Structure 1
Amino acid sequence: MTLSKKRVRLVVALIVTALAGLLFVQTILIRTAWDAKEQAFRRSVFAALDLAVKKLEAGEAMAESIKTMGMPHMPWQAGVNVVTTSRVDSTIDDRSARLVRSVCDSSIIVPVRIQGDSLFYTVASPQHVMISMFDPDSGLSRTVVDTFREPGRYGFKIERGNSRASGYMFRYESDTSVFLFRAGVTPQTNAVVSIVDPDQQKRALVQRVLTQMLTVELKPVEQRIDSVELDSAVGQALKAQGINLGYAYGVYPVRADNLSLAAPGALAPQLMNSEYRTRLFPQDLLSRPSDLVLYFPGRQAYLWKQMGPMLAAVGLFMLVIVFCFAYAIRVISRQRQFTTRMTDFINNMTHEFKTPIATVALASEAISRADVVAEPERLSRFNRMIQDETTRMRTQVDKILQMAVLEEGDYDLNLTEVDVHAIIAKAVENTALHVHARGGSITTDLKAERPVILGDRVHLTNIVHNLLDNANKYSPAQPTITVSTRNVADGIEVSIKDKGVGIAASDQKAIFDKYYRVSNGNVHDVKGFGLGLSYVKLMVTAHGGRIDLESAPGEGTDIRIVLPFDGPKESGK
């Protein structure tokens, strides 16, 4: 089937359209995947913001609650050392009971007795006991007993260390009672300051905590937030959401013109315009609302990195598809060119065989006539015509068959020492008859000092003959051909130059292809099958050489071949 230009263009147009459509759809899919990544990132950031705000709010509430309960939230330092609790045989004496009644106006007997630097307490039933001590001078506080106790009497020694002996505050809490008392310098100065019923204490504690929290809400937001704690809370929240990305954070009071806190400060403009924000202390009733704002300088790169494997796979597959499409278009184009050349070859071959066949037919018809048979000279002349035309057709067929064999690589080079100058001289002598008959000239300029190479004499002779034959056929009425040689670094260079019609630049790329012939409107005005230059390049390459071409329309052609001295690296195929 012959591929017409219209059909080839239609196929190419369909392939290009399909490829463009595929690229468009793939672009949409990539954009959709990018939007999905952005949405997932956005959800994770807002979840992290909510988590960080809750942590800050809970931390503030905890800190204020601890302050309200009189339990300073600070690290312990040296100053008060407590020995390990041990059981002792002591009871609350009558003096301690009277002291409780006199101070608190209560009949409750406190199961605690302070004697010197020791504290003794009695547990009436199995329960949890916690005793804390607080030094008002240093502000240090510590829980010294926090365990479950069986019924019995216990005690521990208080070592004052370097603290001033102005008295300690103790908090005693069990499952049945809670109270505070002060330990003075002497036993006489010990005093119970309060005894609280657990339910009453809880209600009072809640009231105090709420009052303190409302008071805190009136403070400016920058006084309520520590930048280190804020950074830590945000970082931990982002990591909990799987976001390992550098960020900037800030606090932006609502309806304000600037940030009250920004880290780093250089990114304050970006923070003010960032979409990643949430309300700080959302449970506040009295405070001025402020937002916690985040900005991610490397967000784009982070998202592209997450999509990297998918994009790499898509890019690879698209490259494969584009390559296949381009290769298919190239194959179609080359196939069409080859089909055109094959058609031209068949036409030329038919034309070349048509004349000798017609000649043979006429001669055969003539020798069958009685008048020709009666004249031996005419009969002999017609017989020679039949033989000549038969030989000519056999030669053409041999060329075609030989080229097919050579292309398959099924040949062996008979390598011997060959004098290139001798081959050129003989070929020039044979071609000169045809050139001179057309009123032209052929000259030689053999300057190679080393003309002997290792090669196949038959194929080298055919190479020179083919080049000289082309120079003669594609020259005007009076051909001018020059054959020259010179030695180069790796061998001998042979140049065959004519002043013929020349070859256009668009045809030079395919001039050595099989069946290719330069179109000049009538391919039959010069005889040939388009096999000559293809055979020349094949044999030059087989000898390990190279071939170059310089030509311009109307200025002639110069074909140069370089043949190595030592022949091909591998003899034979």
Structure 2
Amino acid sequence: MERQEKITILTSVVVVLSLIGILVLQASWLNLAVDTNIEIFQQKVDIASNKIAKIIRDKKGLTDKIHQTIINNKGESNFVNQEIKSVIKEVLDEANLPNGHSYGLYKHINQMDNQKVYGNASDTLLKNSTCNKKSDRFFGWTNLTCNQNYGNGNDYHLAIFPSYESYIFNEVKWILTTSILFIGLVLIGFIYTIKTIRKQTKLSVLKNDFINNLTHEFKTPLFSISLASKAIRKKEAVKNSEGKTSYLDVIDTETNHLKNQVEKILQLSMLDSGRLFLTKERIFLHEHLKEVSNNFDLLLKEKNGIIHFDLDNSNPRIYGDIQHLKNVWYNILDNAIKYNNNSPVVKLSTRICDDDIIEILVKDNGIGIKSENRDLVFDRFYREREGDIYNAKGFGLGLSYVSEILKLHNANISLMENTTSGSTFKISFPRYYE
């Protein structure tokens, strides 16, 4: 499985787990809000019930009429019913409790047995309820006619049954609505992001496949051109013709240049797809640097340039992939020579830092880099637009490739100094001990 696909899957799993965590937290907060509002409801409905009972008792003769209606078995007398309902509505409105309610008058026989004698409440609403225990009920329960000397157990309690479900929903509906809304938006965003990532991943795979096919297609004709050039050089007529030899030199130079560019693109593509594997070995750094520098002898001679060496006496060793590290030094030195309007002067130095890190410094006298662009030099396709930059060949991939390869070696590169008269790059590399 490719690295990018693994990262996408891991990210998706993390986001899904985070969403589940958010849902659990929201459910917990919502449950806490419901419990809190149930307690508030119980308190408010008890206070309202006591107030209703007091108002009914204070209305002259109303409790007597209620008692007479009950003992005469008149059912719901319109006057009594309207009086009680009017008081209940008024008090429930003041307490901001739902108006959807029913009520009943009960003879209280014991804690678990109450006989309804009046009202429009269902006969089963008080079944298996402990009226004096608030946590077991969602209705108001209060004395109505106790101690009024009706005798023979004809003392009545008032029970009021507001719709607590509608009260709780009304209190938490904004929390619930906003939670559902935001979680829905997050889910939509997550699904859209995953679809976009999957689409981009497919495009990235197609791009890498295209680049791989393209570079391989380029390699074949370049190889054929190199073979043809070598074959032509062997001809006696060519060996004795300086003009023809110079043409072949141009062909070889440009062919090698194209090979290097194709190789960079191929290596970066392999880096992106996670298919680049390093074959590490022990490397004597100084000999390694000099070997790469020798490749620039002809170019430096043509431009009247030079490479100065200032190497540490300890001849340190590093551990890495020799071919990729050659490409690293080649790209850095190539830039130092290429981005230069003068005769190139490059200073290559090494120094040991605290016995564990080797610093390789590459200083040139080139065109330099604008200060505002210093952070961009290791980005892909970036090229400094100054001086003769448009005459310099390349795709702006060199330093990006260098940075990626050094990271795989637990090393790093930075732009240390930068002026209009040149730049200094510092590479910090772990020292190798056997």
**TM-score, with length taken from structure 2:** 0.47
Q: Which structure: larger Rg? A: 1
User: Which is helix-richer, 1 or 2?
Assistant: 2
User: Which is strand-richer, 1 or 2?
Assistant: 1
